[in-house]
């Protein structure tokens, strides 16, 4: 026999301990995805309890249900449209007054709602006593005390939720927020109007609809237009008439007056249910903040934390990355030795295994970074970091929280772009994602080291530093530009709660970390892998190319010519000859490789687009190298190694010498570095941008914008430099 299904939605303020309760109920049986069409995260969990199969949905944390932010719209729509069997409102008991604002709004929505007074222990140590029976009676809702991080009261909560879901009780008409006389008058008039004039059906509770129309709620107005038939215009007109009357009466917008009155109603409840003993408490959280947001030591400590996070992510992360790389190489070598040479082997080794390798190699970074970010978030330090950095980030038109993802961009853009999840406002998130690639990631450093080291000698360090600085400056300019054009609109208000510091739960940290890793592997891994195979194919095809000379025959000839000499030579000479022979063979193999990459599709594309790079002082070899850099920026150096160096040694000295003897000048090297800094991000980053902005549109925009900018900047560097006399 199947047990019965029930859906339970968890609503609540941010920092109310909602996620902790969600994790406690569902454990690891969670599914993380996005809400349809948007990039706000949706978490669902499944659990069987008391003979029921429960689907638990973690709604986004919100303070209110006005449709300003995506989170609020999602929460409201879910309750209204999906009609979960029960909504549990998780209330921070130590923050009752503000929490009740959302609670009263949920109450107005006409769903079966249940209050969980969470963090009951914290409230108690703060000398607060809440009369739960009174609260339950006043608002006509079941109330349960819980302590989320100690897993107390959770079973009772679920039991009550099931009981409520199974009860047939009518949602009472009374016990809701009562507004002042004039507003109530308008509400009931509008209600009557709605009842009489709608041809279709008003999809929601009539009183609620009337209230929302008075509040000029855009979404409800749209739904009325869609659903209420030909009289919908009349309804909106009638609503506007009442609004005008109320504006005149109160000298303020009705929604403002109603917000005021809701808080008035809440104040009345608070007076009846909450008693605060006057005992003076020691507020640990405030004491911690005396240091952590201190005028003098606040910033140094912040930078210390950030430095530690960066080091952990990229320096500690480098070890497992090395192991993964080593493992992949080992596998490659093994398969290389056992498989016969053919196209499939080439695809497997250079396409698929390299591709898989380049996906999982990011995993350590992502796991460590998100462990640190979860630590910052769960302790409450993240909002302090935003508090400290907001002034600076606001100059670029961003929120204080954008700092962390942008900084992580210097390590690797993939986890950095995933870290923009911490930003609540979608505009802030998009803007941060667009400018993060200008933070020069660590994979670009080898390119700078080769180019600057070759052409700038002792001042290479300064040149590289300037490149990094140029990236930061261009991100600021881009930020300001986009803020005032395509991403215009009021900055997200900085009405940010600074929650009390809390000891994080290791379970929550691990769940959060693993969620990110899973998303990365599942949602982005495939794209990156496919991209790697395409890049491989571009380099590997066409198969039957015409080489300028028959390398195989030539290699045989070289070998043969040495054989004769070697048989006659004595022992020391023999070794010398052997070395010389190997060198000659290697040289031929390298020439073949160079010719192969020149004649591959990738090389041909490189040569076709070479004229585009000419004004930048970059020859076709440079443009092919840049093109292969799309797979991963490190590859730029190895492609240059193949194309420029026709020598046997594959080390950086050889490449440096080859570059010096090529047409490249210090100026064109600088232009190339500028181009590498700015041009389209690597495949994995592009996949991350697609995933985190939720749209191909932004992905293409980012690719085109960065590449155009790179070209313009490199052009200015090269041509401008020539004009003022450098070469």
Partner 1 sequence: MRLSEMKENQTARIVHVGGNGPLRRRILEMGILKGSDIYVEKYAPLKDPIELIVKGYHVSLRVEEAAQITVDNVK
Residues that bind partner 1 (CB under 8 A): 63-64, 66, 68, 94-95, 97-98, 101, 255-256, 259-260, 263, 286, 289, 293-296, 298-299, 383, 387-388, 390-392, 394, 490, 493-500
Report, in Å, the least distance between residue 264 CB and partner 1: 9
Q: CA 364 to CA 421: how far, in whole Å? A: 19
**Nearer to partner 1 (CB atom), residue 173 or residue 279:** 279
CA of residue 597 relative to chain centroid, distance: 36
**SS3 at position 173:** coil
Residue 5: which of 57, 43, 48 has the closest Cα?
A: 48
- 194: Cβ contacts below 8 Å, ≥ 6 apart: 202, 206, 209, 210, 235
Max Cα–Cα distance, the chain, nearest Å: 116
What's the min distance (Å) between Cβ of 182 and partner 1?
Answer: 18
| Least CB distance to partner 1 at residue 295 (A) | 5
3-state secondary structure of 287: helix
Least distance in angstroms from the C-beta of 117 to partner 1: 15
For residue 173, the minimal CB distance to partner 1 (Å) is 25
Q: Which is nearer to partner 1, 150 or 394 (CB)?
A: 394
Size (the chain), residues? 727
Q: In the complex, what is the shortest distance from the CB of residue 707 to partner 1, in angstroms, rounded to a whole number?
A: 35
Given the DSSP bridges, would you call strands 86-92 and 274-276 parallel, antiparallel or unpaired? unpaired
Closest distance of CB 690 from partner 1, Å = 29
Residue pair 43/89 in contact by the 8 Å Cβ criterion: no
Q: How far does CA 511 lie from the centroid of its chain? A: 17
Contact 102, 11 (CB under 8 A): yes
Q: Which is nearer to partner 1, 392 or 506 (CB)?
A: 392
Backbone angles phi, psi at 10, to 5 degrees: -100, 120
Residue 576, both tokens: 């010398």
Alpha-carbon distance values, 602 to 388, 542, 605 (Å): 47, 10, 5
Q: Which is nearer to partner 1, 490 or 724 (CB)?
A: 490
Closer residue to partner 1 (CB): 98 or 345: 98
Non-local (6+) Cβ contacts of 261 within 8 A are: 177, 179, 180, 183
Contact of 439 with 409, CB cutoff 8 Å: yes
Least distance from C-beta 276 to partner 1, angstroms? 9
| CB 144, min distance to partner 1, A | 22
Closest to partner 1 by CB, 65 or 594: 65
Neighbour tally for 569: CB within 10 Å: 15
Nearest approach, Cβ of residue 605 and partner 1 (Å): 48
Closest listed residue to residue 601, CA positions, set 693, 653, 535: 535
Q: How far is the CB of 143 from partner 1 (least distance, A)?
A: 19
- Give least dist CB 300 to partner 1, A: 10
CB 191 within 8 A of CB 235: no
| SS3 (DSSP) at 205 | coil
Token readout for 695 is: 């749209």
Looking at residue 117, the DSSP 8-state letter turns out to be E
What's the CA gap between 176 and 174, in Å, rounded? Answer: 5
Give the residue with the Cβ less far from partner 1, 101 or 644: 101
State the nearest-atom distance from the C-beta of 495 to partner 1, in Å.
5
Residue 621 CB neighbour total at 10 angstroms: 25
Work out how close the CB of 244 gets to partner 1 at its nearest, in angstroms, rounded to a whole number. 17
Structure tokens given for 341 = 């040479």
Q: Residue ranges of the alpha helices (H) in 230-273?
A: 232-250, 254-273
Q: Whole-angstrom Cα distance, residue 79 to residue 77?
A: 5
For the CB of residue 177, give the shortest distance to partner 1 in the complex, in Å.
Answer: 14
What residues pair up with 118 in beta bridges, in sequence order?
92
Choice between 246 and 669, CB closer to partner 1:
246
Alpha-carbon distance of 92 to 705, in angstroms, equals 45
Question: Computed over its alpha carbons, how large is the radius of gyration of the chain?
Answer: 32
Residue 161 — left, alpha, or beta (φ > 0 → left; ψ -120 to 50 → alpha)? alpha
Q: What's 147's DSSP letter? A: B
Residue whose CB is less far from partner 1, 267 or 344: 267
CA distance 727 to 254: 68
Q: Which residues contact 106 (CB under 8 A, 6 or more apart)?
A: 11, 65, 79, 87, 89, 113
Measured from the CB atom, is 68 or 245 closer to partner 1?
68
Determine how many CB atoms are found less than 10 A away from the CB of residue 588.
Answer: 19
For residues 438 and 318, give the distance between their C-alpha atoms in angstroms, rounded to a whole number: 22
Residue 80 DSSP class: I
Confirm if 419 and 408 have CB atoms less than 8 A apart.
yes
Nearer to partner 1, 496 or 534 (CB): 496
Nearer to partner 1, 399 or 690 (CB): 399
Question: Which helix H or strand E contains 575, and what residues bound it?
Answer: helix 571-599
CB of 68 or CB of 310, closer to partner 1: 68
Q: Which is nearer to partner 1, 98 or 221 (CB)?
A: 98
Residue 56 CA to residue 25 CA, distance in Å, equals 8
Integer Cα distance of 356 and 344 in angstroms: 16
- By C-beta, is 369 or 407 nearer to partner 1? 407
In the bound state with partner 1, the residue whose beta carbon lies nearer, of 293 and 597, is 293
Looking at the Cβ atoms of 297 and 330, the one nearer to partner 1 is 297
Cα separations (Å) of 416 from 99, 106, 616? Answer: 33, 36, 30
Tell the smallest beta-carbon distance from residue 323 to partner 1 (Å).
41
In angstroms, give the least distance from the CB of 242 to partner 1.
19
Tell me which H or E stretch contains 652: helix 652-661
Closest CB to partner 1 among residues 256, 284: 256
The least distance separating partner 1 from the CB of residue 261, rounded to whole angstroms, comes to 10
């Amino acid at each position: 026999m199947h047990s019965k299904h029930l859906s339970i939605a968890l609503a609540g303020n941010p920092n109310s301990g909602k996620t902790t309760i969600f994790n406690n109920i569902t454990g690891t049986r969670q599914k993380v995805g996005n809400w349809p069409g948007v990039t706000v995260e949706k978490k669902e969990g499944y659990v069987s309890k008391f003979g029921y199969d429960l689907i638990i949905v973690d709604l986004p944390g919100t303070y209110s249900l006005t449709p300003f932010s995506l989170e609020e719209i999602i929460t409201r729509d879910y309750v209204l449209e999906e009609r979960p069997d029960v909504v549990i409102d998780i209330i921070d008991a130590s923050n009752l007054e503000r929490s009740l604002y959302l609670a009263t709004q949920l109450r107005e929505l006409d769903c079966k709602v249940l209050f969980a007074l969470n963090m009951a222990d914290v409230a108690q140590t703060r000398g607060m006593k809440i009369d739960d029976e009174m609260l339950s009676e006043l608002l006509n809702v079941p109330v349960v005390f819980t302590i989320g991080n100690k897993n107390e009261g959770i079973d009772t909560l679920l039991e009550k939720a099931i009981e409520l879901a199974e009860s047939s009780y009518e949602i009472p008409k009374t016990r809701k927020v009562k507004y002042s006389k004039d507003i109530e008058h308008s509400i009931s008039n509008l209600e009557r109007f709605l009842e009489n004039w709608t041809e279709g059906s008003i999809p929601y509770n009539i009183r609620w609809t009337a209230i929302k129309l008075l509040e000029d709620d855009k979404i409800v107005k749209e739904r009325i237009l869609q659903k209420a038939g030909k009289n919908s215009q009349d309804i909106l007109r009638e609503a506007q008439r009442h609004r005008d009357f109320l504006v005149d009466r109160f000298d303020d917008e009705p929604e403002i007056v109603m917000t005021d009155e809701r808080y008035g109603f809440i104040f009345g409840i608070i007076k009846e249910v909450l008693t605060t003993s006057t005992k003076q408490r020691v507020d640990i959280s405030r004491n911690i903040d005396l240091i952590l947001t201190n005028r003098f030591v606040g910033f140094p400590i912040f930078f210390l934390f950030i430095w530690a996070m960066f080091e952990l992510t990229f320096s500690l992360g480098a070890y497992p990355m090395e192991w993964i790389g080593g493992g992949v190489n080992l596998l490659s070598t093994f398969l290389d030795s056992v498989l016969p040479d053919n196209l499939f082997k080439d695809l497997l080794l250079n396409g698929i295994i390299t591709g898989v390798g380049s996906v999982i190699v990011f995993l350590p970074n992502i796991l460590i970074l998100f462990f640190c970010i979860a630590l910052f978030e769960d302790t409450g330090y993240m909002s302090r970091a935003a508090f400290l950095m907001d002034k600076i980030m606001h100059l670029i038109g961003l929120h204080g929280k954008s700092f962390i993802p942008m900084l992580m961009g210097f390590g690797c853009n993939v986890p950095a772009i995933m870290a923009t999840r911490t930003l609540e406002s979608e505009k802030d998130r998009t803007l941060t994602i667009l400018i993060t690639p200008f933070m020069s990631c660590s994979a670009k450093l080898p390119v700078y080291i080769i180019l600057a080291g070759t052409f700038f000698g002792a001042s290479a360090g300064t040149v590289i530093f300037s490149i990094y600085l140029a990236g930061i400056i261009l991100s600021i300019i881009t930020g300001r530009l986009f803020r005032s054009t395509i991403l215009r609109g009021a900055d997200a208000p900085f009405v940010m709660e600074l929650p009390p510091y809390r000891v994080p739960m290791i379970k929550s940290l691990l769940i959060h970390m693993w969620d990110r890793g899973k998303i990365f592997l599942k949602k982005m891994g495939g794209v990156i892998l496919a991209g790697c195979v395409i890049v491989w194919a571009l380099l590997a095809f066409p198969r039957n190319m015409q080489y300028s000379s028959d390398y195989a025959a030539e290699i045989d000839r070289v070998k043969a010519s040495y054989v004769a000499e070697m048989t006659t030579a004595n022992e020391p000479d023999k070794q010398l000859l052997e070395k010389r022979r190997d060198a000659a063979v290697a040289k031929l193999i390298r020439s073949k490789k160079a010719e192969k990459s020149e004649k591959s599709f990738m090389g041909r594309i490189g040569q076709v687009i070479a004229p585009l790079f000419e004004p930048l002082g970059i020859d076709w070899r440079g443009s092919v190298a840049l093109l292969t850099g799309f797979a991963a920026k490190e590859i730029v150096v190895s492609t240059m190694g193949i194309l420029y160096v026709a020598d046997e040694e594959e080390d950086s000295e050889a490449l440096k010498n080859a570059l010096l003897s090529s047409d490249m000048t210090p100026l064109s090297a600088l232009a190339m570095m500028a181009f590498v800094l700015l041009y389209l991000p690597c495949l994995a980053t592009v996949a991350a941008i697609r995933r985190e902005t939720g749209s191909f549109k932004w992905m293409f925009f980012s690719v085109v914008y960065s590449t155009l900018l790179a070209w313009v900047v490199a052009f200015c560097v090269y041509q401008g430099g020539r004009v003022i006399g450098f070469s």
